[in-house]
Amino acid sequence: MKVKAAVMWEVGQPLDIREVDLDEPKAGEVLVKVGSAGICRSDRHFMHGDAPIAIPVVLGHEGAGTVVQTGPGVTLASEGDQVILSFVPACGRCRSCLEGHSNLCDLHAATGANMLDGTTRLHADGKDVHHMGKVACFAEYAVVPETGVVPLADSIPMDKAAMIGCSVTTGVGAAIYSAEIKPGSTVAVIGCGGVGLSVIMGAALANAGQIIAVDIREAQLEFAMRFGATHTVNAADQDPVRQVKDLTGGRGADYTFEVFGSGDTTKAAYDMAAKRGIVTVVGIAPWGQEASINAVDLVRNEKTLRGSYYGSARSRTDMPVMVDLYQSGKLNLDDLVVRHYTLDQINEAYADLDRGEIGRGAIMFD
């Protein structure tokens, strides 16, 4: 079928909104009519060439929609299901999946921006077009593996569902599944975009005591107070490490999170952690960047430095938990999505992200 999609032909170029060819779903795949797609920084990293991806490609990995057709042998979703899309459709058979870490699925990692069989369903101008995260939801329709859809028990607004597909699960999961924040502890979050605000919501859910939001923009910091931040630190004018230490009686925070994506902010997250502090790196730094840490401090203060990918969550079991938390009023997703766009406005949506507009943007499809 012919569908409208935003194609990235080259790094550094605006996305090209045009018709592309989308094949029928093959065995174990489903066709989804996209309802909403989130404007996430991870896609921007590919557009800027800060992260490698096969091109041409349809980006978009934070989405939700409705299943309109199922391929042969599909058992995990049915036509008409409203679904959240997962950008790590787990194979269920590799070592990582079998060990319960389906967010790190080996087969998904090995097949990258292709479907699990290594081929693409998208084509344009005689070329194969790749699928970011096997989602490619900057398009009216998407063919995805059946393990990449998480059916919703009750319908929720599509833009909220889309957020659960990436930023919410990544951020809340980092707080409650990766770091396992303990009640009453102190938390510092560097970078308060869609993902960082979700870390803050996760810290609040875990009943953290002090939750310190760190950003370089005052507007983001004020906004963070709506999601559970108790203190703010503006990293633009003064050293954020010093400020976080001052707010925590000189100790540093028990849990720190890097949610921007750079070597410098990773180092700051490490340096502002307390003795026995847990440092969780969520943001994806430009490819090749390194962060230097004091090797003696690591030992003498028994700090833990770890990464967190997709919130260490298992999409098919943990995303429904996020939906329940939203429905019971414990996750404020209604305030998170503040800007809505059409697919034709996608380049403007990314310009708004670059300008640092607060909150999350989402593309809506009719």
Q: Which of 30, 39, 40, 137 binds Zn ion (CB under 5 A)?
A: 40
Tell me the C-alpha distance between 216 and 237, whole Å: 8
What are the residues whose beta carbons fall under 8 Å from the beta carbon of 44, sequence distance 6 or more? 350, 353, 354
Site for ligand APR in 271-310 (CB under 6 A): 282-284
User: What does DSSP say about strands 273-281 and 304-307: parallel, antiparallel, or unpaired?
Assistant: parallel
Q: Is the dihedral of CA 176, 112, 260, 333 positive or negative?
A: negative
Q: Which of 89, 173, 191, 311 binds ligand APR (CB under 6 A)?
A: 191
**Residue 188 bridge partners (DSSP):** 212, 256
Cβ 40 to Zn ion, closest distance in Å?
3
User: What does DSSP say about strands 57-58 and 2-8: parallel, antiparallel, or unpaired?
Assistant: antiparallel
Tell me the C-alpha distance between 268 and 53, whole Å: 28
**Residue 36 bridge partners (DSSP):** 64, 364
User: Phi then psi for 2, rounded to 5 degrees?
Assistant: -95, 130
User: What does DSSP say about strands 2-8 and 16-22: parallel, antiparallel, or unpaired?
Assistant: antiparallel
* Residue 356 in the binding site for ligand APR (CB under 6 A): yes
Of 34-42, 183-191, 243-251, 346-354: span binding Zn ion (CB under 5 A):
34-42
* Residue 86 in the binding site for ligand APR (CB under 6 A): no
Tell me the C-alpha distance between 333 and 172, whole Å: 12
Tell me the C-alpha distance between 197 and 235, whole Å: 16
For Zn ion, give the closer residue by CB, 185 or 312: 312
Closest CA relative to residue 245, chosen from 193, 281, 208, 210: 210
For ligand APR, give the closer residue by CB, 68 or 205: 205
Of 58-66, 177-185, 235-243, 260-268: span binding Zn ion (CB under 5 A):
58-66
For ligand APR, give the closer residue by CB, 65 or 196: 196
Residue 310 binding: pick among Zn ion, ligand APR, none (C-beta 5-8 Å cut-off by kind):
none
Cβ 359 to Zn ion, closest distance in Å?
15
For ligand APR, give the closer residue by CB, 88 or 124: 88
For Zn ion, give the closer residue by CB, 56 or 283: 283
Residue 349 binding: pick among ligand APR, Zn ion, none (C-beta 5-8 Å cut-off by kind):
none
Instruction: Tell me the CA distances in angstroms from 241 to 234, 251, 270, 273, one per residue in order.
Output: 11, 11, 9, 9
* Residue 42 in the binding site for Zn ion (CB under 5 A): yes
Q: Which of 28, 89, 196, 277 binds ligand APR (CB under 6 A)?
A: 196
Which positions touch ligand APR (CB under 6 A)?
A: 40-42, 45, 167, 170, 190-196, 214-217, 220, 235, 259-261, 265, 282-284, 353, 356
Which positions touch Zn ion (CB under 5 A)?
A: 40, 42, 62, 166
